[in-house]
Amino acid sequence: WASQESGDTGLVLRLAVIYVALFGLVCYPIAGATYINEGYLLQKVTASNVGAMSVIFVLVLRLYSGWGYIGSRLQSKVIEYEETGWYDGDFEQKSDAEKARDLFLYRSNVKPVEERLKKFSLALGGAWVASCLALNVASSSNPIFNQYDPRMLEKLSYDDKVAGVVARESNGRPTYCENRYYRAVANGGQGCN
C-alpha cells in the first residue's frame, strides 16, 4: 500500500478512493439519517467528512505502525524468534553480514516508506482536527430556529408570538415530528401524519 514503488501518488490515490467510497456509501447516509430536516446540508457534509477522515486516519496509523515494526526488527541486533507455544521463542545474535544486510534493507526499502507514512499521518491528523472544528462550527449554526433548545421550549409556553412563528416554521405540524427521539417520546408521533 505504501511501498516505494507506488510512491506518494499511489498512496494518495488509494486513500482517496477509500475516502470517497466511505464518504458516499457509509458516512453520508448516516449523516442524512441524523440531520433529517431541510437546510442542514453543511452539517451533513461536515459530519460525513469527519467520519471518513477518521477511518482514513486510523488506516494510515495502522500502516505506519506495521512498517515501524518491520523497521525495528531490521534494525535490531538480535533475531527474535516469535513464540508459538511454551517450547520456543528465542533470541539469537545477528552476524555482521546479517546486520549489514538488514540495515541495507531498512535504509533502502523501509525507511522511505516510514518517512512517507509519518508525513501522511501528520497531514491527515491536521486535516482531521480541522474537520472536527468545521463540524463543531457547522453544528452550532442552525438554519432554522432550534425547536429543542430548553430556553426556546420555556419561551413557547408563555409567548404567543414566538409560538406563532414556531407553528409557521413547522408548517402547522408538531415540531417533534422531525426528530425520531422526540417523536418516540410523544408516543410514536401523534399528529405527525
- Spatial contact of 22 and 55, defined as CB atoms under 8 Å apart: yes
State mean pLDDT over 79-87.
Answer: 72
Q: Is the pLDDT of residue 31 over 70?
A: yes
* Alpha carbon separation from 68 to 61, 71, 94, 104, 112 (Å, rounded): 10, 5, 20, 16, 11
Q: Is the pLDDT of residue 63 over 90?
A: yes
State mean pLDDT over 41-64.
Answer: 95
pLDDT of residue 60: 95
The pairs formed by 171-177 with CB atoms below 8 angstroms and a separation of 24 or more are: 175/147, 175/148
Q: What is the mean pLDDT of the chain?
A: 84
The least confident of 55-59, 142-146, 147-151 is: 142-146
Among residues 181, 68, 49, 50, the alpha carbon closest in space to that of 117 is found at 68
- In the Cβ-directed half-sphere of 1, how many Cα atoms lie within 13 Å? 17
Q: How far apart are CA 4 and CA 108, in angstroms?
A: 9
What digits encode the pLDDT tens for the residues 93-125?
Answer: 999 999 999 999 999 999 999 999 999 999 999
Q: Is the pLDDT of residue 168 over 90?
A: no
Report percent pLDDT > 90 for the chain. Answer: 51
Report percent pLDDT > 70 for the chain. Answer: 78
pLDDT of residue 87: 60
pLDDT of residue 2: 73
State mean pLDDT over 14-34.
Answer: 94
